[in-house]
């Protein structure tokens, strides 16, 4: 028999009212604005856009505010919002080679055309807490230098010219691009689906998976060929217009990982690659993504796949923090009936155990 239990409406309503107050905090302290979140907590906004899989700074800032800074909750809110909008179509693939770079470094070549450009980075800071930031800090204006007009080709394109690195796989004619927001995931999954999954995957999960390959669980000897961050133009083929229209620009981070070589009887040895791409300035995310992308190519490259990071079903099924948090956090919702049946079973087992272990004398006495 199924017994519906009602109640708790008032408690829920009041709990949400209390939440709204807890979110606002002490009302004698100024309220944080969406602009402030977007401008001053920019990397949190970038993460929510990446893992929420929706490029919209203002929405991501709103989600962060609504979620009280809980980024996974914010990502959940953004994912739920995107489900309410119609999709107009797909963009032309962005050209990261034409990026207006604001940061671009290579750990493999010192002298790259266009140079090593540090941009706004935490690298080389001392990680000492700065008390002046707590007291109305006004930064010195940025230094300027004459802007270079030299192109900044992708480092992998330079290596590719000598055949030292494998070239990127090209699409077969008429091949469709997999979209895991439209079709359920099936295994084995192709690289397009894997990259989509990783691009919206949890940064912490990918970081741990990438780290595990460095520690020997699916080692693939990575070097950062290049990390670049900057603006790329987005174009969209609009059917009503009849040609690709410009939509504006977005900020992206790209990581090209260069990994240990492979070769065969018919192919000269060359470096292999892993790729990472994410919204905003998301370096840790794209580096981790590139490590995991490369690890997941084990099957294709004829490597023994024994480590977790090389297991695409394991990685792709557990990378999504909205799915993960949904399943983990549902455990705190009422399971009274489930638990009652478990409790009933346990009592029965304990009684059987007690009966079986009772001393014979007791049994006789009982009879």
Partner 1 sequence: MAVLAHAEAGEIAARLRNLAVPAHQDLREPESGLVMLRGRVGGDGAPFNLGEATVSRAAIRLASGEVGFGYTLGRDGEKARLIALCDALVQSKDFGATVERDIIAPLREQLMVRRKQVAEETAATKVDFYTMVRGEG
Residues 17-76 that bind partner 1 (CB under 8 A): 49-50, 53-56, 58-59
Q: How far, in whole angstroms, is CA 302 from its chain's centroid? A: 27
Q: Write the CB contacts of 107 (distance below 8 Å, at least 6 apart in sequence).
A: 223, 224, 225
Binding mask 166-185 for partner 1 (x = CB under 8 A): -xxxxx---x-xxxxx----
The reply to whether 124 sits near partner 1 by the rule CB under 8 A is: no
Q: Among the candidate windows 21-29, 111-119, 207-215, 337-345, which touches partner 1 by CB under 8 A?
A: 111-119
Tell me whether residue 98 or residue 343 sits nearer to partner 1 (CB atom).
98
Distance CA 290, CA 292 (A): 5
The reply to whether 154 sits near partner 1 by the rule CB under 8 A is: yes
For residue 264, the minimal CB distance to partner 1 (Å) is: 20
Identify the residue among 75, 199, 298, 309 touching partner 1 (CB under 8 A). Answer: 199
> What residues between 203 and 242 interact with partner 1 by CB under 8 A?
233-234, 236, 238, 240-241
Tell me whether residue 70 or residue 233 sits nearer to partner 1 (CB atom).
233
Q: Can you give 209-250 as a three-state secondary structure string?
A: HHHHHHCCCCCCCCEEEEEEEEEEEEEEEECCCCEEEEEEEE
> What residues between 321 and 360 interact with partner 1 by CB under 8 A?
none
Identify the residue among 131, 134, 216, 246 touching partner 1 (CB under 8 A). Answer: 246
Q: Among the candidate windows 26-34, 216-224, 249-257, 337-345, which touches partner 1 by CB under 8 A?
A: 249-257
For residue 286, the minimal CB distance to partner 1 (Å) is: 11
Alpha helix (H) residue ranges in 217-335: 283-295, 312-318, 321-329
Structure tokens at 341: 């049946």
Q: In terms of Cα–Cα distance, which of 356, 365, 167, 129 is closest to 256?
A: 167
Tell me whether residue 177 or residue 346 sits nearer to partner 1 (CB atom).
177
Tell me the number of residues near partner 1 by CB under 8 A. Answer: 81
> What residues between 252 and 291 interact with partner 1 by CB under 8 A?
252, 254, 256, 273, 275, 277-279
DSSP reduced 3-state for 40: helix
Tell whether the torsion through CA atoms of 240, 242, 244 and 245 is positive or negative. Answer: negative
Q: Write the CB contacts of 102 (distance below 8 Å, at least 6 apart in sequence).
A: 117, 119, 120, 229, 230, 231
Distance CA 131, CA 139 (A): 14
Residue 311 φ then ψ, to 5°:
-100, 100
Identify the residue among 32, 164, 224, 250 touching partner 1 (CB under 8 A). Answer: 250
Identify the residue among 26, 31, 140, 146 touching partner 1 (CB under 8 A). Answer: 146
């Amino acid at each position: 028999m199924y017994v519906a239990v009602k109640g708790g409406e008032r408690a829920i309503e009041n709990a949400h009212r209390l939440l709204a107050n807890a979110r606002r905090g002490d009302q004698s302290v100024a309220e944080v604005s969406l602009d402030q979140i977007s401008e001053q907590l920019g990397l949190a906004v970038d993460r929510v856009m990446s893992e929420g899989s929706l490029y919209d700074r203002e929405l991501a800032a709103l989600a962060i505010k609504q979620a009280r800074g809980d980024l996974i909750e914010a990502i959940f809110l953004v994912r739920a919002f995107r489900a309410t909008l119609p999709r107009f179509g797909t963009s032309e693939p962005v050209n990261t080679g034409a990026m207006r770079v604001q940061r671009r470094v290579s750990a493999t070549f010192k002298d790259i055309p266009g140079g090593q450009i540090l941009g706004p980075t935490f690298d080389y800071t001392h990680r000492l807490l700065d008390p002046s930031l707590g007291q109305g800090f006004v930064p010195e204006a940025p230094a300027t230098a004459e802007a270079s007009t030299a192109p900044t080709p992708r480092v992998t394109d330079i290596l590719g010219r000598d055949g030292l690195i494998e070239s990127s796989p090209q699409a077969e004619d008429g091949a469709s691009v997999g979209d895991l927001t439209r079709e359920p995931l099936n295994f084995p999954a192709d690289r397009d689906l894997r990259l989509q999954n990783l691009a919206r995957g949890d940064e912490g999960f990918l970081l741990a998976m990438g780290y595990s390959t460095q520690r020997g669980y699916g080692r693939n000897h990575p070097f950062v060929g290049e990390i670049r961050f900057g603006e790329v133009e987005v174009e969209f083929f609009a059917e009503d217009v009849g040609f690709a229209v410009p939509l504006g620009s977005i900020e992206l981070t790209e990581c090209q990982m260069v990994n240990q070589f492979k070769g065969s009887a018919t192919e000269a040895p060359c470096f292999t690659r892993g790729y990472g791409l994410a919204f905003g300035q998301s370096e840790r995310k794209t580096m981790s993504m590139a490590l995991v992308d490369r690890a997941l190519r084990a099957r294709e490259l004829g490597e023994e796949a024994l480590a977790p990071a090389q297991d695409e079903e394991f990685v792709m099924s557990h990378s999504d923090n909205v799915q993960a948090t949904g399943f983990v956090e549902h455990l705190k919702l009422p399971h009274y009936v489930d638990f009652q049946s478990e409790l009933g079973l346990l009592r029965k087992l304990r009684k059987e155990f007690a009966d079986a272990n009772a001393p014979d004398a007791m049994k006789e006495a009982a009879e």
